[in-house]
Amino acid sequence: MCKRTIITLTALAAAAGCDNTGAPSELDRPRVLAVQVSPPHLAPEESAPVDVLVGRADGTVAVVAPDSVEVLSAPAGSPQSGMVGHGADGWAIACPDEQVLAGLRATLGLAEGEQVPITLALEVEVEGELLTATKNVYLGNHADNPQLAGVTANGGSEEDGVLVIGAGDEIPIAAEGAEGEGELSYAWFTSVGDIDLYLSEAATLTASDEPIEGQLVLVVRDEQGGVIWSWRDVRVE
Among the listed residues 90, 71, 72, the one whose alpha carbon sits nearest the alpha carbon of residue 82: 71
Q: Do both 42 and 84 map to the same domain?
A: yes
pLDDT in tens, 153-211: 999 999 999 999 999 999 999 999 999 989 999 999 999 999 999 999 999 999 999 99
Tell me the whole-structure pTM to 2 decimals: 0.88
Sign of CA dihedral 173, 199, 167, 59: negative
Among the listed residues 52, 51, 61, 62, the one whose alpha carbon sits nearest the alpha carbon of residue 26: 61
Average pLDDT in the chain: 91
pLDDT of residue 27: 96
pLDDT of residue 46: 97
Q: Do both 181 and 68 map to the same domain?
A: no
- Mean pLDDT across the stretch 70-93? 89
Domain range holding 210?
150-236
Residue 52 resides in a domain:
yes
Q: Do both 105 and 187 map to the same domain?
A: no
Residue 145 resides in a domain:
no
pLDDT of residue 10: 39
Q: Do both 192 and 220 map to the same domain?
A: yes
Residue 144 resides in a domain:
no
pLDDT in tens, 6-63: 444 433 334 334 444 568 999 999 999 999 999 999 999 999 999 999 999 999 999 9
